[in-house]
Amino acid sequence: MLDWKQWRGLVQAARQIALITHVRPDGDGLGSCEALRLALVALGKQAQVFVPGSIPDRYRFLDEEGCWVSVSTGSAIPEWLRRADLLVIADTGTWQQLGTLAEAVRQQPSPKVVIDHHQTQDELGAIRLVDTSVEATGRLAWEAISALDVAMTAAIARALFVALASDTGWFHHSNTQPRTFELATLLVQAGADPHQLYEQIYEQNTLSRLRLLGMFLQRLQLAVEGRVCYGVIHLRDYEVTGAQPLDTEELVNYTRSVAGVEVGVLFVEQPQGGTKVSFRSRGKVNVARVAEQWHGGGHAAAAGAILNLGVEPAIAAVLAALETEIVRMDPSPLVVGEGPSLRAES
């Protein structure tokens, strides 16, 4: 159990508080930030949420007061953020994941707090309130709010439920625990509507996103004797389908769903060069350890990294690293070079 005493003191001393989450933010990062923002406002603080890069449309319904700020590449750092006297970084503890806001965080002299549940952590010059045993940063956000003695409202409950449910795959991932349902029950009793929230997030797809999904599924490949499944999204795919880069969220889960696969991987070509890689493991293979080879990271079962390589070299490098890790975890013989193709569609 984390000690929230220092957290309470920092919040009490602060007037203007900036909440920051990671690039390509998910429901856990955004839900945690919004719940914390609402709690801080209830205490009479000024608070805003800052996101490096774009904000997925599917989560914007949580931002009822219009307090989320997207900071894209090339954009000036908002003066509001520079004036903040406390920075709260939620759902990440690495420089790479702070993207366009990394330099602003480095230069900010005000106190910083990291609230996170990921294994991979950099030295951000922050007080770390990190617990890798919890299923979602949303739980830690709930603990932080409870430590501030802020009453639970329906809006806070909705944001926390999105955080909790998103990072547990709507309660079916292996990180789901008995206490997950206990917290979910508390949040539903406070006003979170699971049906409405699920429909808002997962059942409002555009045709463009579904076309991108179809293209992605057609390209799926098996490797390492069927233990790895991977798929690729190229830059040109967005023009062909009308989709956006944020439409690739959740695609990696399809790779792990293939029977017999231990690790699923999504490769996404980046506009500025390089390849973003997302990993999902069934549990045997620690994909955070693999991602850390390229200064990425995350959880043992879910991680990511950005490689300064084109798509094809990135695929070759990642598959080689995964094969090494799989052999290390399970030394039963692999017949290298045999089995399904290791090549992605170009």
pLDDT at 345: 40
Residue that the structure tokens 């009490």 belong to: 12
pLDDT at 341: 40
The answer to whether the CB of 87 falls within 8 A of the CB of 111 is yes
Name the 3-class secondary structure at 292.
helix
pLDDT at 272: 87
Architecture of the domain spanning 5-202:
Alpha-Beta Complex (3.90)
Query: What type of residue is 330?
Result: D
Closest CA to 22 of 37, 32, 8, 14: 32
Q: Tell me the domain boundaries of the chain.
A: 5-202, 207-329
At how many degrees (to 10) do helices 154-167 and 137-147 cross?
A: 150
Q: What percent of the chain has pLDDT over 90?
A: 86
The answer to whether the CB of 305 falls within 8 A of the CB of 294 is yes
CA distances to 19, 127, 160 from 59, rounded to whole Å, are 16, 28, 13
**Segment 268-285 mean pLDDT:** 94
pLDDT at 338: 40
pLDDT at 174: 87
Longest pairwise C-alpha distance within the chain = 64
Closest CA to 193 of 138, 142, 150, 154: 154
Summary mean pLDDT of the chain: 93
For 266, half-sphere exposure in the C-beta direction (CA atoms, 13 angstrom radius) is 24
C-alpha 261/C-alpha 320 separation (Å) is 16
C-alpha 247/C-alpha 204 separation (Å) is 12
Residue 101 predicted with pLDDT over 50 = yes
End-to-end CA distance of the chain: 49
Query: What type of residue is 70?
Result: S
Residue bearing the bigger pLDDT, 344 or 240: 240
Residue bearing the bigger pLDDT, 337 or 326: 326
Residue 69: CB atoms within 10 Å: 17
The token pair that represents 91 in the structure block: 């759902």
pLDDT at 344: 38
Residue 342 predicted with pLDDT over 50 = no
Q: How confident is the model at residue 74 (pLDDT cuts 50, 70, 90)?
A: confident
At how many degrees (to 10) do helices 137-147 and 5-13 cross?
A: 70
pLDDT at 331: 62
At how many degrees (to 10) do helices 194-202 and 154-167 cross?
A: 60
The pTM score is: 0.86
C-alpha 312/C-alpha 18 separation (Å) is 39
Q: What percent of the chain has pLDDT over 70?
A: 95
Query: What's the fold here for domain 207-329?
Result: Diaminopimelate Epimerase; Chain A, domain 1 (3.10.310)
Residue 224: CB atoms within 10 Å: 24
Residue 46 predicted with pLDDT over 70 = yes
Residue 274 predicted with pLDDT over 90 = yes
**Segment 250-268 mean pLDDT:** 96
pLDDT at 73: 83
Residue 309: CB atoms within 10 Å: 18
What is the edge-to-edge ordering of all strands in the sheet holding 228-233? 221-223, 228-233, 263-269, 275-281, 302-307, 297-298
pLDDT at 332: 64
